[in-house]
Amino acid sequence: MLLTTKVETFHNFIGGKWIESGSSKTFQSVNPANQEDIVGVFQASNEQDVQQAIEAACQAFPKWAETAPSKRAAILNKAAAILEENVEKLAEELTREEGKHVTDAKNEVLRSAQTLRYYAVEGQSFTGETFPNDDPNMKVSTEREPLGVVSVITPWNFPISIPARKIAPALITGNTVVFKPSSDTPLIAYRLVEALHNAGIPEGVINFVTGRASEVGDLLVTHPAIRAVTFTGSTAAGEDIHKKSSFTTRTQMELGGKNPIIVMDDADIELAATLTVNGGFSLTGQACTGTSRVIVLKEVKEAYVQKLIEKTSALKIGNGFEDGVKIGPLANEKQLKNVLKYIEYGKEDGATLVYGGKQLTEGQYGQGFYVQPAIFTNVTPDMRIAKEEIFGPVVAVIEVGTYEEAMAIANDVEYGLSASIITNNLKVAHQFTKEIQAGTVKVNRTTTGNLINAPFGGLKKSSTSTFRESGRVGLEFFTQVKTVYVGY
């Protein structure tokens, strides 16, 4: 584990220079496993800093838009190599800053490098179409061009891979970027920008501004030069941004979820319990696609719940540097309070807490934001733990009599991010993929996880229903289309 006694101060990156905020104020990034461990000191930026960053991005745009795609790709590839070379150090920093296990942190850094490489290739062949027409002396085609300056605003739960999957397609298509990371995880975001800088990105093409959303959020969204905002975070913040941004600003919002897993009466119970534990409790339940509702057929409910408790009780809770730890701390105090609040709501609303749900405060746990994973049974669909996003290690088990009942409940929430069904019945599996209201649909797999090369996004209040992220379609958001008619 990396232990530093001297706390380093990190700067914004504007117009190719690392600079202090004009506010002369800073804030600390704190280790959620040990609040005495200060990971770094960061600039508490203000609107003047954002203004400067947007101006730098505007200035850099024309040249970057004209830069050969192969040159842009070379920078992404070099930045990927830098992340890979430094993966051990970066994973340690990520764990100290966010709390996830260092193995998960390492995988996240490597996935971010892979994402840069993926878009370096895919972005170079992203092009328009040609259209047959009746005029033998005319060619009709579409051309794609970059939008201009793009704001990138990201959360703390995947603090480098989410920025990578937004910044890489933005840059490869010729846009310039102003990037504001979560105030809980600015260090690993800084490392991504540093890698791009060390890879030779021209000044002003990527700009990095840290600071509270309450200080810098509005201008990042409402400044007239911002042509697009790509945001991942809570539905409340996403709705706010969507409303504030102007008619000519594109928005891409990846938001909250309340993801169900349906356990059918023919399900492999062992598999169902394993997938629930992995989907519901890995990353301490802090994945947007995390499993938070289990809708289980009554014939198998008892056996399933027993297995689920057995597997959950075997999970080791601790800091992300300990071997075998499966559940780390929650990422911040707000998260801890929110999870404990929902555990109380579950009890108040009449659900039965059959496992866990207590805050851990003894020994090393007292220094961090630890809570036992919680399993509730006797949950009814109207309860708050069955309807609202908790974003923590809390699973609500709802018993049903039929597949139809399960589907009605699965779809009766305002979210539609991810969903899974556990069954060996092919007909039911196909029916599920058709009827479920979710952007990511799985059969006999966890609700979590998505490929770099496949589209990702939600339905209903889990996303704006405009542009998908990831994969080839992830490039569409960052380009505009012109239809060109050439007579000759």
Buried b (16+ CB within 10 A) or exposed e, 86-108: bbeebbbbbbbbbbbbbebbbeb
Distance of CA 49 to the CA centre of its chain: 25
| Alpha-carbon span 207 to 197, nearest angstrom | 10
Q: Could you say whether residue 241 binds ligand NAP (CB under 6 A)?
A: yes
Q: Quick check: helix, strand or coil at residue 320?
A: coil
Minimum CB separation from ligand NAP for residue 458, in Å? 6
CA angle, 54 then 165 then 44, to 5°: 40
| Alpha-carbon span 416 to 410, nearest angstrom | 9
Q: Could you say whether residue 473 binds ligand NAP (CB under 6 A)?
A: no
Q: Could you say whether residue 330 binds ligand NAP (CB under 6 A)?
A: no
Choose the catalytic residue: 254, 389, 399, 476.
Answer: 254
Choose the catalytic residue: 288, 389, 399, 476.
Answer: 288
Choice from 45, 52, 157, 470 touching ligand NAP (CB under 6 A): 157
Residue 371's beta-bridge partner residues? 359
| Alpha-carbon span 346 to 394, nearest angstrom | 10
- CB nearer ligand NAP, residue 403 or residue 467: 467
- CB nearer ligand NAP, residue 72 or residue 468: 468
- CB nearer ligand NAP, residue 211 or residue 346: 211
Minimum CB separation from ligand NAP for residue 245, in Å? 10
Choice from 29, 173, 182, 291 touching ligand NAP (CB under 6 A): 182
Q: Could you say whether residue 256 binds ligand NAP (CB under 6 A)?
A: yes
H helix intervals, 264-411: 269-281, 298-313, 333-348, 384-387, 403-411
Which of the stretches 90-98, 112-120, 180-188, 294-302 binds ligand NAP when contact is defined by CB under 6 A?
Answer: 180-188
- CB nearer ligand NAP, residue 204 or residue 217: 217
Pseudo-torsion of CA 18, 231, 287, 300, nearest 10°? Answer: -170
Q: Could you say whether residue 389 binds ligand NAP (CB under 6 A)?
A: yes
Supply the Cα-derived Rg of the chain in whole angstroms.
23
H helix intervals, 41-154: 47-66, 69-85, 87-98, 102-122
Choice from 81, 213, 309, 353 touching ligand NAP (CB under 6 A): 213
Helix 69-85 / helix 102-122 crossing angle, nearest 10 deg: 170
Choice from 275, 288, 327, 438 touching ligand NAP (CB under 6 A): 288
Q: Could you say whether residue 254 binds ligand NAP (CB under 6 A)?
A: yes
Contact 421, 264 (CB under 8 A): yes
Q: Give one DSSP letter per residue of 341-365, joined into a string.
A: HHHHHHHHTT-EEEE--PEE-SGGG
Which of the stretches 29-37, 199-207, 234-242, 308-316 binds ligand NAP when contact is defined by CB under 6 A?
Answer: 234-242
Choice from 155, 318, 320, 356 touching ligand NAP (CB under 6 A): 155
Q: Could you say whether residue 40 binds ligand NAP (CB under 6 A)?
A: no
Choice from 183, 252, 259, 291 touching ligand NAP (CB under 6 A): 183
Which of the stretches 178-186, 341-349, 401-409, 472-480 binds ligand NAP when contact is defined by CB under 6 A?
Answer: 178-186
Does 254 participate in catalysis according to the annotation? yes
Q: Could you say whether residue 260 binds ligand NAP (CB under 6 A)?
A: no
Nearest to 196 by CA among 110, 292, 82: 82
Contact 471, 454 (CB under 8 A): yes
Which of the stretches 5-13, 118-126, 201-209, 253-261 binds ligand NAP when contact is defined by CB under 6 A?
Answer: 253-261
DSSP 8-state symbol, 225: T
Q: Could you say whether residue 233 binds ligand NAP (CB under 6 A)?
A: yes
- CB nearer ligand NAP, residue 99 or residue 217: 217
Does 322 participate in catalysis according to the annotation? no
Q: Could you say whether residue 419 binds ligand NAP (CB under 6 A)?
A: no
| Alpha-carbon span 147 to 293, nearest angstrom | 39
**Which residues carry out catalysis?**
254, 288
Chain residues that interact with ligand NAP, rule: CB under 6 A: 153-158, 180, 182-184, 212-213, 217, 221, 232-234, 237, 240-241, 254-257, 288, 389, 391, 417, 458, 462
